[in-house]
Amino acid sequence: MVSSNDFKNGMTILYDGKIYKILEFMHVKPGKGGAFVRSKLRDLRSGAIVDITFNAAEKVEKAIIDKIEMQYLYDSGDALVFMDNETYEQIEIPHNLVEYEKQFLKENENVNIEKYGDEILGVILPDKVTLKVTQCEPAVRGDTKTNALKDAIVETGLLVKVPMFIEQGEDIIINTETGKYSSRA
């Protein structure tokens, strides 16, 4: 058990049968009445962000989330298949749990999987990934003065806006949080 006074950003807790990650919190001591903790939490099962207010020193259960390094093998059609690098055990994660993350996953790449007990919560992406541009239009002459962008499709099928100098076949670095072009590889 952990007290609401001991909350830290990134901590995971169990509250009302749901697993939450603390995004931010603030201790509030009004002039009248007791102190309380206002918090913004992400539900790790649904991804929803909720605001919950706890009384000061209210006890909640701490959730122990395991992170296991696994290798992404392939897309089976209705799920993504991952293999544990130590035990070689294979697991399938349904598309609805990794809808956003699958845009950045290449086959045979290692990623971290979040688990609570035997329940798989999702995939933890690295901050940036390197992907090869498979399709983009050629640069138009004269568009170099402005910060003009063009559409490019990378090997995973993700559509990214890139600068005009990027050519088909180049490796680019994409920020996984925003889904935007970061730099050349």
Same domain? For 117 and 155 the reply is no
Nearest to 174 by CA among 141, 130, 140, 114: 130
* pLDDT, tens digit, 9 for 90 and up, residues 105-161: 888 889 999 888 888 888 888 888 899 999 888 776 665 566 778 889 998 888 999
Residue 74: strand pairing partners: 81
Lowest mean pLDDT among 7-16, 74-83, 140-149: 140-149
What confidence score (pLDDT) does residue 163 get? Answer: 87
- Dist. CA 148–CA 161, nearest whole Å: 9
Answer yes or no: pTM beyond 0.85: no
The predicted model gives 78-85 an average pLDDT of 90
Q: Can you tell me whether residue 101 is helix, strand or coil?
A: helix
- Residue 56 has a pLDDT of 86
C-alpha distances (whole Å) from 31 to each of 36, 39, 58, 159 are: 12, 20, 20, 52
For residues 50 and 19, membership in a common domain is answered with yes
Q: Is 112 exposed, middle or buried (0-12, 13-18, 19+ CB in 10 A)?
A: middle
Provide the token pair at 2.
């952990």
Residue 120's pLDDT is what? Answer: 87
Helix (H) or strand (E) holding 161: strand 159-163
Residue 36 — very low, low, confident or very high, per pLDDT cuts 50/70/90? very high
For residue 155, the domain's CATH number is 2.40.50.140
Residues 112 and 134 in one domain: no
The predicted structure's pLDDT at residue 167: 87
Tell me what pLDDT residue 140 has: 67
Residue 102 backbone dihedrals phi, psi, to 5 degrees: -65, -20
The total domain count for the chain is 3
| Tens digit of each residue's pLDDT (9 = 90 or more) over 56-66 | 888 999 989 88
* Rounded Cα distance, 49 and 39, in Å: 10
**160 and 139 belong to one structural domain:** yes
Question: DSSP secondary structure string, 53-96?
Answer: EEETT-EEEEP--EEEEEEEEEE-SSEEEEEETTT--EEEEEGG
Residue 78 has pLDDT above 70, yes or no: yes
Q: At which of 28, 62, 96 does a domain end?
A: 62
Q: What is the domain range of residue 98?
A: 66-124
Compute how many other C-beta atoms are within 10 angstroms of the C-beta atom of residue 11.
17
> What local confidence, expressed as pLDDT, does residue 145 receive?
61
183: exposed, middle or buried (Cβ count in 10 Å: 0-12, 13-18, 19+): exposed
Task: Tell me what percent of the residues of the chain surpass a pLDDT of 90.
Answer: 25
Cα distances from 169 to residues 34, 40, 45, 133, 175, in angstroms, run 62, 42, 37, 5, 19
